[in-house]
């Protein structure tokens, strides 16, 4: 009997993930930036790579679907970013 279990994991980010984070950032934020501050590709690439040591890639069934960054400052935990792709292999 087959079950439909979902394998949800977090994994550490490597330099090889910066392109994924940049594409995710573009998909989730570019429209808003275009309507306000404007979108600068170089700046956004830099921001995608910023503080990756605090980031983890969110995976479902071994497919990268998002990123979360949590940065600790002093005694406070600052939740900085959490983004997800809107579709996974064509499914909403």
* Interval 40-61: pLDDT, tens: 999 999 988 988 888 999 998 8
For the CA atoms of 76, 50, 15, 79, the dihedral, rounded to the nearest 10 degrees, stands at 30
DSSP, collapsed to helix, strand or coil, labels residue 27 as helix
Provide CB contacts within 8 A for 54, sequence distance 6+.
69, 70, 71, 72, 80
2-16, 31-45, 74-88: least confident range: 74-88
Q: How confident is the model at residue 2 (pLDDT cuts 50, 70, 90)?
A: low
Residue with tokens 């087959």: 2
Q: Give the residue, 55 or 72, on which the prediction is more confident.
A: 55
Quote the strand ranges of the chain, DSSP E.
8-12, 55-60, 63-73, 76-84
pLDDT tops 80 at residue 80? no
Architecture of domain 8-84: 3-Layer(aba) Sandwich (3.40)
């Amino acid at each position: 009997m087959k079950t439909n279990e979902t394998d949800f994991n977090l994994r550490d980010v490597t330099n090889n993930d910066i392109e994924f984070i940049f594409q995710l950032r573009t998909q989730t934020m570019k429209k808003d930036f275009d309507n306000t501050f404007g979108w600068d590709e170089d700046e956004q690439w830099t921001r995608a790579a910023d503080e990756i040591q605090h980031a983890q890639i969110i995976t479902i069934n071994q497919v990268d679907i998002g990123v979360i960054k949590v940065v600790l400052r002093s005694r406070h935990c600052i939740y900085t970013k959490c983004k997800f792709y809107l579709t996974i292999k064509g499914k909403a």
